[in-house]
Amino acid sequence: MYNRHAILFPLTLALMLAVITFWINQTVQEQGPSIDGSNRHDPDYKLHNFVTTQTDMGGKLRYVLAAAEMTHFPDDDTTVLQRPRFTQFAVDKPYTQIQGLRGYVSSDGETVEFVDNVKVVRQATADKGEMQLTTEKLTIEPNKDLATTQSPVVITQAPKTRVTAVGMVFDKKNQTMTLQNKVRVHYERPTPKIKPSAKPATAASSTIDKRMSTKTKSKTNTQRTNIQSKPLGINRKP
């Protein structure tokens, strides 16, 4: 019996020490930062004057994403942009450019979020003036041609259209814009252009009218003189 207890006691003690060691190790790893810094929100690289492009299946340019600085964070695989500019192109359609002070790219690259002083400019066309949109936050999905925001927006379009609203969905593929709340529109009808009158033709016509009027009066006066002279001639006869 003594020999049995002498064997079990060191085994039990070793097992308890192993459990305590494992628990301490797990507690330290959960609470403290790892030595390699993988669980800290630290950047692993930065790029200055960053530019990336994407083309369609035919090799035509779809969009260009540029920024003054790009910073990547490995812990959540996100990217932060400083002064980002996004330009989207389409065949036989006006291009659209979006810019802001800061931007965030998701880990899968499917969404880009613009923050602070966001401005959207759509190029003018033959029948539509240039359109500008300003807001404080805008999320775009390049592969879906969508731009959305829940923030207030101000939209202006040449020559004199101004729209304000809260919340917007812009579908570039279908060229539609949905304004969600508190929509107000101010529109001024453009002044119609007056065609210049043909002054030389009017002057010539006026001159012809005057000449015809003068000739008519002359003929009338001559007829009146002839008619009056006959009685005078008759009265002079004996």
The CA distance from 212 to 192, in Å, is: 37
Which of 98, 90, 152 has the alpha carbon at shortest distance from 125?
90
The CA distance from 236 to 188, in Å, is: 82
Is the pLDDT at 113 greater than 70, yes or no?
Answer: yes
CATH superfamily for domain 45-187: Lipopolysaccharide (LPS) transport protein A like domain (2.60.450.10)
Per-residue pLDDT at 175: 77
Per-residue pLDDT at 92: 73
Per-residue pLDDT at 233: 39
Strand partners, 51: 66
Residue-wise pLDDT tens digits, 37-46: 556 778 888 8
Beta strands in 93-175 (DSSP E): 93-99, 102-105, 112-122, 131-141, 146-157, 161-171
Whole-number mean pLDDT of the chain? Answer: 75
Residue-wise pLDDT tens digits, 51-78: 888 888 888 888 889 999 999 988 888 8
Across residues 128-136, what is the average pLDDT?
88
| Residue in this structure with the two tokens 């004996």, named with its chain if needed | 238
For the chain, what percent of residues have pLDDT higher than 90? 26
Is the pLDDT at 159 greater than 90, yes or no?
Answer: no
Say if residues 122 and 94 touch (Cβ distance below 8 Å).
yes
Q: pTM to 2 decimals?
A: 0.61
Per-residue pLDDT at 48: 92
